[in-house]
Amino acid sequence: MLDIKKSSGLIFHPTSLPGKHGIGNFGKNAKTFVDFLVETNTKIWQVLPLGPTDELEYSPYSSPSSVLGNINLIDLDNLHNHSDFTLEENKFPDEFIDFKNVYKYKSNALYNISKSIDINENYYQQFLNNKLIREHITFLTLNKINQNPWLSWNESEKSYSEHLFEYVSNKYEEEFKYNLFTQYEFTRQWNELKQYANKSGIKVLGDIPIYVNHNSADVWSNNNLFELDNTGNMSYVSGAVPDEFTADGQVWNTTLYDWDINREENYEYWINKLKSNLDKVDYLRIDHFVGFFQYWAIPIKESALNGSWRKGPWKTFFKEVSKEIPMSKLVAEDLGVVLSETEEILSKYNIPGMKVLQQRIPSDIIHDEIHPNEWKENLIAYTGTHDSPTIKQWFGESNEMQIQYFNEYRKELNFKLSNDVWDFISLVWESPAQVSVTTVQDLLELDKEARFNSPGTKTGNWGWRLKEMDQLNSSIKNLKLLNEMNSRNI
């Protein structure tokens, strides 16, 4: 179990915070959100992966680095030793992120500021003492300079070395300065925000995808650990079998691991990656946890329907990782395929799994679901996740049988708010689960326009934003009451 008492949390990615410059940031509104959590006795702030996103779909789960941060979350009003600069006028939407133009705007602003930094300052040099930081900043610099995936780079640039780091930092000084400055600022500002949260009694639950992009610092600097052919290309890619979200399955196009080589190296890459991410957050959810037990391998450029199952490294992976990583800090996203091996590991290491109420309300008279008040304690119970419809949308799209079961379930509530959305939340809060979680969109009873992500689609995702922090005020009374009535406020 997590080293925390019975509590509750909210999913709210920082990009969704309101504010200027077209995207949420680590500034004053982030601290105001922490204050809201404190006021409502909510103990956990759950965020999606905080790394840089790709610039095609802007997904937090598709990144060129598992270690670095999304620089678009930097607060331009809180830069270290940089306050005298002029920003271009901008007019971005308030309720969704215009990713292409916002990324361009913030990148240009930060690039201009970075030109004046002195990389020999002690704080920058201390930041670069971390080998993973050096590797990943070197990759970002070369990736920008070359404008093509790493396989097309010069042979001398296709693998990391300390010599290459020195060469790149001198040869491409401006681009290197930009990456150093922005990653330092991301880290400094996030640490400041997390410290504010922790001092206020709030814990941060982070997230990490199991797979990484082929064109990433991870694969570039550790390509022997991934399943690549002798030219460095992928023959198979990751994905998912068909499920209730996607009838044809999903092709993620991320790189599969060579688990034999990872095992020979005692999973050092994974241990370092988990340590690096746990340095940023209090707890860490591992997305697609089942991939350590079995995974869907899809031939390159083919449909997910043509994939096949392969065995994962679970028998040795968790034994090695547990020697270095506190397992009480991990959460397993174990949704979908149910395996006895997964249950064995979750039980052995006391790792909480997940239950999502939207997925657990039967849609047919024949089912094996149980009432949420019979769920076990060692799990995190959700109304929905970032991949789910909002609760209000769920009601609009569910069949008659699901609504009937929901109404049967709500009859057993100890505390009713006489509102479909809030009674749905109450079902999760009254479950025995150690932690209960909903989304900010559901606190506000928003409909499909506020859905964060629709799995299997490539556009229109990740962009929802809260327009004003005051919108949260309407939910304070109910959320605080639910936490108190269910002893989730200790």
Tens digits of per-residue pLDDT, 25-77? 999 999 999 999 999 999 999 999 999 999 999 999 999 999 999 999 999 99
Residue 1 covered by a domain: no
Residue 82: predicted pLDDT: 81
Mean pLDDT of all residues in 298-327: 97
Residue numbers of the domain that contains 316 = 7-485
Q: How confident is the model at residue 2 (pLDDT cuts 50, 70, 90)?
A: confident
Tokens (6 digits) for 175? 């681009």
| CA–CA gap between residue 221 and residue 142 (Å, rounded) | 12
Q: Which residue has the higher pLDDT, 470 or 337?
A: 470
Residue 157: predicted pLDDT: 98
User: What's the number of domains the chain is made of?
Assistant: 1
Q: How confident is the model at residue 490 (pLDDT cuts 50, 70, 90)?
A: confident
| pLDDT (tens digit per residue) in 79-101 | 998 877 878 888 899 999 999 99
Residue 465: predicted pLDDT: 99
Q: How confident is the model at residue 243 (pLDDT cuts 50, 70, 90)?
A: confident
Radius of gyration, alpha carbons of the chain: 23
Residue 242: predicted pLDDT: 83
Residue 237: predicted pLDDT: 98
**Ramachandran region of residue 113, left (φ > 0), alpha (ψ -120 to 50) or beta?**
alpha
Tokens (6 digits) for 138? 């070197």
- The structure's pTM equals 0.97
CA-closest candidate to residue 288, choices 352, 378, 208: 208
Q: 45 by DSSP, 3-state: which?
A: strand
The average confidence (pLDDT) of the chain is 96
Point out the least confidently predicted range of 95-104, 219-228, 363-372.
363-372
Residue 490 covered by a domain: no
Mean pLDDT of all residues in 116-139: 98
Residue 1: predicted pLDDT: 72
Residue 371 covered by a domain: yes
217 has a pLDDT exceeding 90: yes
Residue 193 covered by a domain: yes
Asked if residue 30 lies in contact with residue 14, where contact means CB atoms within 8 angstroms, the answer is yes
Residue 191 covered by a domain: yes
Residue 426 covered by a domain: yes
Q: 382 by DSSP, 3-state: which?
A: strand
Residue 416: predicted pLDDT: 86
Residue 116 covered by a domain: yes
Mean pLDDT of all residues in 180-189: 99
Tokens (6 digits) for 235? 């023959």
272 has a pLDDT exceeding 90: yes
Q: 379 by DSSP, 3-state: which?
A: strand
Residue 410 covered by a domain: yes
At 190, which CATH number?
3.20.20.80
Residue with tokens 């670069």: 128
Residue 317: predicted pLDDT: 99
| CA–CA gap between residue 344 and residue 339 (Å, rounded) | 9
Q: How confident is the model at residue 228 (pLDDT cuts 50, 70, 90)?
A: very high
